[in-house]
Amino acid sequence: MTTNTNSTYPLTRRSVLKGAAAAGAVSAFGVTSTGFVGLAAADEHTVINTCNDLDIVLALDYSGSINGAGTWPDIESGTDSFFEVVPDDVQLGMVLFGDAPDARPYVANDYLRLATSANIDLLQAEIPASSPPQENGTHMPGALEFANAILDEEGRDGNEVIILVTDGGPNYQNGVVGDGAFPPEDDTTFPYGSFDFTGGSAGGDGNITQSELDETEGVATDIKNGGVRIIAVGIGQNVAGYDGYLENEIASSPDDFVAVEDAENLGAELQQLLTEICDECVPCESDELLAKYEFACVERDPETGDCLAYDFVLEKGDDSLVSYEEGRFESKEGEAFEPISATFGTKYEYCTLYAVVKAGRGLDVQALDAEGGEVTATYIDPYAISFVEFYCTEEAAQAAADSFPSNGGGGRGR
């Protein structure tokens, strides 16, 4: 077997993180290994290079109970440390909530931006330096609605997450939030709509009722059904109370609930959450052809026209989704251009891609793990690969294989 090694390929983010973890390189708030720093993105604060076009809105509890517990300085510093390690390709927004939700803009009517250093500076300036006022309300449903509206209006329709950080359950006064009117007293205007809540109390009494729990759960359920993931981070000794309310009714799954008993650990917990989110595979759902690569002549003798070299070249589709670098194929033993495998890069760390591989007269549908940011298609023994097509779903790949003329299908002009 001959291996083509003309090109060098960078380490994937997954392998960097695993290697750094094994070496003890990543600290709670940054990087201590000089080797790992060399592999980081351009901004010094960035630990993770990329995060699959993730959009995050952080919803922070800024209520009277946070004041009473004295945990706001830790929450403020933990949020700062979290912002410092968000990759540049993540869009980031923030909502505070006490008696009412309050979306914090970069500039007027602009709530979600890429986490570049300049934008991080703007968002950090929106974190109050002083502890919350002595209020009774914790307007959790309003905060979730504001965060979801920001994602809906400014998100990229990709991987969207609300991280809810709170020390308890919902408690709020009935009325509209987002129109700036009373009640509640400190309501602010919100450009993406106003929201009416009827499950709360007539006034801010500080007592959590079943109707407040039910209405907030309904809001969270609607958001999750719309494709947004909710991660609930509970702070304090008693946050697992309310019969697991945050864990079972608000978070997208029990695994999306994180209990932080000591607020000093919030920054490290948020960074760990980010690492886990960024390291997860991305579902691929399109039924269309992603890319087709033919094994074709790439160099000819200028005098005779004879082919001097072959490689895989894009024939159809989008090479930004599935890419190929020169020479990433393996040939049969003693044969320079009889590929028995070919490796392709993927824009996202897809959970699974499906390849239609043609070798000889045969076609094979292959399920390929793309979590490492690349996939490898293999031949149909004993024939060399002539082309590879990539699809998101097995059904689409199988339909493409069935339609190919040599399989008895009508073909699709491929």
Say whether both 373 and 242 belong to one domain.
no
Among 257, 278, 299, residue at a domain's last position = 278
Confidence class for position 220, pLDDT limits 50, 70, 90: very high
Confidence class for position 131, pLDDT limits 50, 70, 90: confident
pTM for this entry: 0.69
Say whether both 173 and 273 belong to one domain.
yes
Does residue 4 sit within a domain?
A: no
CA distance linking residue 414 with residue 401, whole number of Å: 11
Say whether both 206 and 321 belong to one domain.
no
User: For the chain, what is the total number of helices (H) and then of strands (E)?
Assistant: 10, 19
Say whether both 236 and 149 belong to one domain.
yes
Among 240, 255, 278, residue at a domain's last position = 278
Does residue 69 sit within a domain?
A: yes
Among 255, 278, 301, residue at a domain's last position = 278
Q: Where are the alpha helices (DSSP H) in 112-207?
A: 117-124, 140-154
Does residue 414 sit within a domain?
A: no
pLDDT tens by residue, 142-173: 999 999 999 999 999 888 999 999 998 999 99
With CA atoms as reference, report the closest residue to 398 among 346, 352, 360, 363: 363
Does residue 305 sit within a domain?
A: yes
Is the model's pLDDT at 294 over the cut of 80?
yes
CA distance linking residue 352 with residue 277, whole number of Å: 17
Say whether both 36 and 89 belong to one domain.
no
Say whether both 29 and 98 belong to one domain.
no
Confidence class for position 201, pLDDT limits 50, 70, 90: confident
pLDDT tens by residue, 303-353: 999 999 999 999 999 999 999 999 999 999 999 999 999 999 998 888 899
Say whether both 34 and 85 belong to one domain.
no
Q: What is the DSSP letter of 394?
A: H
**Residue-level pLDDT at 69:** 85
Domain encompassing residue 31: 10-40
Total count of domains within the chain: 3
Say whether both 234 and 322 belong to one domain.
no
**Residue-level pLDDT at 242:** 63
Q: By the 8 A CB rule, do 270 and 278 touch?
A: no
Does residue 5 sit within a domain?
A: no
Say whether both 99 and 229 belong to one domain.
yes
Say whether both 61 and 185 belong to one domain.
yes
CA distance linking residue 160 with residue 54, whole number of Å: 6
Percent of the chain's residues with pLDDT above 70: 84
pLDDT tens by residue, 19-41: 333 333 222 222 222 222 222 22
Confidence class for position 412, pLDDT limits 50, 70, 90: very low
252: Cβ–Cβ under 8 A, 6 or more apart, which residues? 224, 229, 230, 231
Say whether both 53 and 179 belong to one domain.
yes
Does residue 412 sit within a domain?
A: no
Average pLDDT over residues 191-207: 87
Q: What is the CATH number of the domain that holds 210?
A: 3.40.50.410
Say whether both 249 and 350 belong to one domain.
no
C-alpha distance from residue 179 to each of 61, 101, 128 (Å): 20, 11, 22
Does residue 378 sit within a domain?
A: yes
Does residue 413 sit within a domain?
A: no
